[in-house]
């Protein structure tokens, strides 16, 4: 039995040596080396354009940046990157939100806002609300004051929005 095992092991060793020697021929790789050299030579030669080629190039029209009529390119915009960390009250226009009540505890008043999907959220001073970077600046039992920031011709413009508590019985 050991003789049979030794014979099989010997055949496997000879077979593996023969298969590995087949991979070591450098002649098989010559075409690959030739192709790589050809690529290197073709990339090193700069392409020269004729006068006709240059005349056919269409360049964009030149414009002058008018700082007074365009937005400052360095100010944040209402892009997805600027809205990072948006909560449920920041993705809805203020006109679709309803002020439904307040609660005062230990001198701190919190408001309650109803969203179009019938969810009620608690808000406090400084919370962000609405699509235009609104910030709650005052909460009373009858109203919530919000400062919103909109951009007019690229310039930030703050304005105050007041949400009134509506009496549903009337």
State the CATH number of the domain containing residue 150. Answer: 2.30.30.830
End-to-end CA distance of the chain: 103
Tokens describing residue 54: 């240059």
Domain contains 141: yes
- Strands of 143-152's sheet, edge to edge? 128-129, 134-139, 143-152, 155-164
Domain contains 2: no
pTM over 0.85: no
Work out how many domains the chain is built from and give that number: 1
Whether the per-residue pLDDT at 170 is higher than 80: the answer is: no
Model confidence pLDDT, tens digit, residues 81-110? 454 567 889 888 999 999 999 999 888 999
Domain contains 29: no
- Structural domain of 121: 94-164
Model confidence pLDDT, tens digit, residues 110-130? 999 999 988 999 999 999 999
pLDDT at residue 100 in the model:
93
Burial 20-32 (b: 16+ CB within 10 A, else e): eeeeeeeeeeeee
Domain contains 158: yes
Tokens describing residue 134: 């609104």
């Amino acid at each position: 039995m050991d003789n049979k095992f030794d014979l099989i092991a010997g055949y496997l060793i000879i077979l593996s040596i023969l298969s590995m020697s087949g991979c070591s021929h450098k002649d098989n790789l010559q075409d690959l080396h030739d192709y790589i050299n050809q690529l290197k030579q073709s990339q090193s030669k700069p392409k020269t354009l004729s006068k006709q080629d240059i005349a056919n190039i269409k360049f964009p029209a030149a414009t002058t940046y008018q700082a007074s009529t365009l937005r400052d390119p360095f100010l944040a915009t209402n892009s997805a990157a600027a809205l990072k960390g948006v909560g449920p009250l920041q993705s809805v226009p203020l006109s679709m939100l309803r002020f439904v009540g307040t609660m005062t505890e230990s001198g701190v008043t919190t408001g309650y806002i109803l969203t179009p999907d019938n969810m009620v959220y608690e808000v406090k001073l400084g919370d962000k609300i609405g699509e235009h970077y609104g910030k709650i600046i005052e909460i009373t039992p009858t109203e919530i004051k919000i400062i919103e920031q909109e951009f007019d011709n690229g310039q930030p413009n703050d304005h105050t929005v007041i949400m009134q508590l509506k009496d549903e019985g009337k």
